[in-house]
Amino acid sequence: MHLRAVDAAARRELVDTSKPYLAIAASGLMASRADPFIIGVILGPVALAMHAVALRVLQMFSGAIDLLGLGVTSGTARLIAGGEHERVGGLYRKASGYAALVVWPCAMAVIGFAAHVAGGLAEFNEGEMAWVLRTVMVLVVILVPIGQAWSVMYGSNQVRGLVGAQLATTLVTLVLTLALVEPLGVAAVFVSSIVGACGAGVFLLPALERVSGQSWDLLLSGLLRPGLLAAGLLVALLGVVWASPNAVWAVGLGLIALSVYGVLGLRWGVRAEDRRRLIEGLARRAPRS
């Protein structure tokens, strides 16, 4: 009898703890199912296929962001359990900065070469597909700090108070998609998602401040150097695409620009201690003659 009571209490606690996570997952699932339905009904099968391609590109980037956030979730939980709340802000700054250093140059490359990528997809209108890809990459840029912020919320078990705001944001995003899909086409889905991601930032930043005890400008300071590097890379790539006589030249010069970004990112964007550890780790793995 006592064991049954304990089991029932454990089940109730598990269900109660899981509710906010299930609600947030359900809101994301609702949006992911509603968007293609709206596109297919209003714009037709060609637009639906274009949305599927753009969504696959977005999922590649968002999967990388989520993977980088796994360490943030476990790290935050460990710091909170150890009573080291003051270190959570530093963890977020470091994680968001390094995630941006990895993800943003890839997004800049897609923006710069969007016309070339779209040109390889013969079944779609090249101009519209390039516009959609650029819109997706703007969303990716915003998702980097947002994704790491959600990882901190999961690790600190502060999700419950954000459920209502997240559901409202999802609803606004769907309404915007319905309103914009005819004038903007497939890009309406991702423009609406950009607005929704910015809305999520509005309620995530105060939550981050409460968890870490640090101000929002300090929390976001880790994005400054990666942002400057990514902006410089984008300018270089756009110049390369504009000046190159053909796609081969554009790709070759683009790879050089990305290599320069990698060197500058390692030197200027990675902390000295982390850079030393990275170099030592690569040296240990290098084949010995």
Q: What tens digit of pLDDT does each residue of 47-71 get?
A: 998 999 999 999 999 998 988 888 8
Q: What is the mean pLDDT of residues 137-145?
A: 95
The more confidently predicted of residues 285 and 158 is 158
Question: What type of residue sits at position 110?
Answer: V
The more confidently predicted of residues 272 and 212 is 212
Q: Is the pLDDT of residue 3 over 60?
A: no
Q: Mean pLDDT for the chain?
A: 84
Q: Which of 248, 243, 158 is nearest to 203 (CA)?
A: 158
Q: Is the pLDDT of residue 4 over 60?
A: no
68 occurs within a structural domain:
yes
3 occurs within a structural domain:
no
Instruction: Give the range of the structural domain holding residue 112, as residue numbers without chain letter.
Output: 38-268
Q: Looking at the 3D structure of the chain, how many domains does it have?
A: 1
29 occurs within a structural domain:
no
Q: Is the pLDDT of residue 114 over 50?
A: yes
Q: What angle do CA 191, 197, 201 make, to 5 degrees?
A: 145
How far apart CA 227 and CA 209 sit, in angstroms, is 22
Q: What is the mean pLDDT of residues 184-196?
A: 93
| Percent above pLDDT 70 for the chain | 89
9 occurs within a structural domain:
no
Q: What is the mean pLDDT of residues 84-95?
A: 88
How far apart CA 232 and CA 270 sit, in angstroms, is 17
Per-residue tokens: 48: 């639906």
28 occurs within a structural domain:
no
32 occurs within a structural domain:
no
The more confidently predicted of residues 20 and 254 is 254
Q: Which of 197, 104, 101 is nearest to 149 (CA)?
A: 197
Q: What is the mean pLDDT of residues 220-239?
A: 90
Position 230 scores a pLDDT of 92
33 occurs within a structural domain:
no
216 occurs within a structural domain:
yes
Residue pair 193/246 in contact (Cβ under 8 Å)? The answer is no
